[in-house]
Amino acid sequence: MNEYIPLLMFLALFFGILLGFPVAFTLGGVAIIFGWACSYLDLFYTDDFAFIPSRVFGIVQNMTLIAVPLFIFMGITLEKSGLASELLESMQKVFKRVKGGLALSVVFVGALLAASTGIVGATVVTMGAMALPTMLKWGYQKELACGTIAASGTLGQIIPPSIVLVLLGDMMNVDVADLFVGALLPGLLMVLIYMLYIFIRISLNPNLAPVPQELIQENEESVVGLEVLVTLIPPALLMFIVLGSILGGFASPTEASACGALGAILLSTLKGRMTWEKFKAIGTESAKMTSMVFTILVGAQFFGVVFRGLNGDIMIEHMILENDIPKVWVLLFVMTLMFVMGFFLDFIEICFIIIPIVSPLLVKVLGFDPLWLAILMAINLQTSFLTPPFGFALFYLKGVAPPEVKTSHIYKGIMPFVLLQLLTLVIIYLFPDLVTSLPKFVFG
């Protein structure tokens, strides 16, 4: 019976979350209840709670995690500066004569914003508010338009600088710089797959995305070229500051995040978009998001201490090794579990609940490459933004969508893109060099 207590902890955790309790307090509360209850059965020593303060202070003092609030601040600052709207307007003119040009421009802008901001909510809301009404006006199918915007907004989870990569690097003891470089090719691959899917689908059925004749007749190439060049300079400069400093070995990811935050302030100021009131709003919003992440992380430390104190990690390891389960099936089970959890939980919550438990097993016991494994998990976690009923990108888009766009249109629209994300996951599994070759080339 004792070996089933860690399993009961998990069931109690999910039951509490489904009842609507905050994840951070559910993690900590379940851990304290089970810890004290099992102490009376001599299954858990209350002295083990003494490890929790050192774990919490370890989080606060962790230099790697300092990059989280700085990247959040950088992303919110750029979102407030109007960078997304300017990029979208320029790219619409570049792709206007291509089949599905507006949809392709949304994907392209989503990739640029991912590489410069990485804030999913801000990206989806901005592109939804600007691009969706135009796409509907031009006669785009509602499902295709909604799916393209929602999926493009989630690219910030895999294209660096990405908050999820920083968190995974810390939890899995993988250098964040290696993760950033390793995620470049998978991120570009996903962008390419999105664009190919849109182009092929519209080529087969042009009625999904008609091109207005008045746009085709316009002739303003020289003006558009200059406008695009001016618009691309800010995100390109910021990408050079953040990723270039890491790739060149001049700065760690934490130091690069500080440079990125300062660069975002300077760019916004040069554009004349930074005011004292806006600066205060950026700081407040950044503090709220950072507090959410670290509160969940503290709750996860409580849960982890009690779970390991009850030998939950040993139970999982013995269950797999004694039954001689092939490691590929173990990996498939973990990935399926994370994917299913994405229907109900946010990526941060899945990270802090699952990764600390399964990562030692997959890396130290079964021998998977931690860098490759972390990228697989990052792509898997990206699906949590799109999978109904609780995909956050779906809520963001619905909040700014015109009244004629129903929730059913959004749900139907994102399904092909979820499958495309899973296709990317399969490709990365079959070709690990897409992840591991570039870090080896850059860092040796």
Whether the per-residue pLDDT at 230 is higher than 60: the answer is yes
Q: Are 78 and 117 in contact (CB under 8 A)?
A: yes
The predicted structure's pLDDT at residue 432: 93
CB environment 4-26: b (16+ within 10 A), e (fewer): ebbeebbebbbebbeeeeebbeb
Q: Are 377 and 423 in contact (CB under 8 A)?
A: no
At which residue do the structure tokens 């060099």 appear?
433
Mean pLDDT lowest for which of 127-136, 229-238, 254-263?
229-238
Domains in the chain: boundaries: 2-443
The predicted structure's pLDDT at residue 53: 78
Rounded distance between C-alpha atoms, residue 321 and residue 330, angstroms: 10
Rounded distance between C-alpha atoms, residue 97 and residue 203, angstroms: 13
The predicted structure's pLDDT at residue 183: 92
Rounded average pLDDT over 344-354 = 80
String of DSSP letters for 378-412 = HHHHHGGGTSSSS-HHHHHHHHHS-TT--HHHHHH
Rounded average pLDDT over 161-171 = 86
Whether the per-residue pLDDT at 65 is higher than 90: the answer is no
Return the amino acid letter for 442. V
pLDDT digits (tens, 9 = 90+) for 3-58: 678 788 888 888 887 787 787 888 888 888 888 888 777 766 556 666 677 777 77
Whether the per-residue pLDDT at 424 is higher than 60: the answer is yes
Q: Are 100 and 222 in contact (CB under 8 A)?
A: no
pTM for the full predicted model: 0.84
Token pair listed for 10:
């998990």
Whether the per-residue pLDDT at 236 is higher than 60: the answer is yes
Q: Are 175 and 169 in contact (CB under 8 A)?
A: yes
Q: Categorize the per-residue pLDDT at 62 as very low, low, confident or very high, splitting at 50, 70 and 90.
A: confident
pLDDT digits (tens, 9 = 90+) for 192-222: 999 999 999 998 988 888 766 555 555 455 4
